[in-house]
Amino acid sequence: MCHVLIIEDETLIALDLEDLLQSNGATSFSFAENQEDAVAAARANRPDLILSDVMLTEGTGTLAVRAIRDAYGPIPVLFITATPEACSPYALPGEIFRKPLDRPAIGAAFCRLAFAA
């Protein structure tokens, strides 16, 4: 069982990522469009993996991920963003992918992180 929190403010991208991760073994999802909702979603259902955009309409994915990891410990993270340079000041562990989506690479990274034991 693998629960994924998708933090993405573009609905079509979030749904595309859900489809991709579901085809790679994810079993359940929570969605958030902004920083505050992401932290609340993690509080409601702790994710096994977080997939996050960086720049959101309200807040940032990196700050949401930091807050979630501070509360729940190390959770694997995949950042998917048009602004990968915005990840560096936060020094969060995780893999970074540039938009547009590279579906095979994201799927492989998801499998590597979600099912590593």
Length of the chain as a residue count? 117
Residue 77 CB neighbours (<10 A): 25
Total structural domains in the chain? 1
Q: What is the pLDDT of residue 91?
A: 52
| 6 φ, ψ (degrees, to nearest 5) | -105, 115
Residue 115 CB neighbours (<10 A): 12
Question: Residue 45: which CATH number?
Answer: 3.40.50.2300
Residue 55 CA to residue 3 CA, distance in Å, equals 23
Residue 75 CA to residue 57 CA, distance in Å, equals 23
Q: One digit per residue, pLDDT tens: the chain, 117 residues?
A: 799 999 999 999 999 999 999 999 999 999 999 999 999 999 999 999 999 999 999 999 999 999 999 999 999 999 998 887 777 655 566 788 998 899 999 999 999 988 775
Domain that holds residue 25: 3-114
65 DSSP β-pair partners:
none
> Would you state the structure tokens that stand for residue 89, as one six-digit string?
């000041």
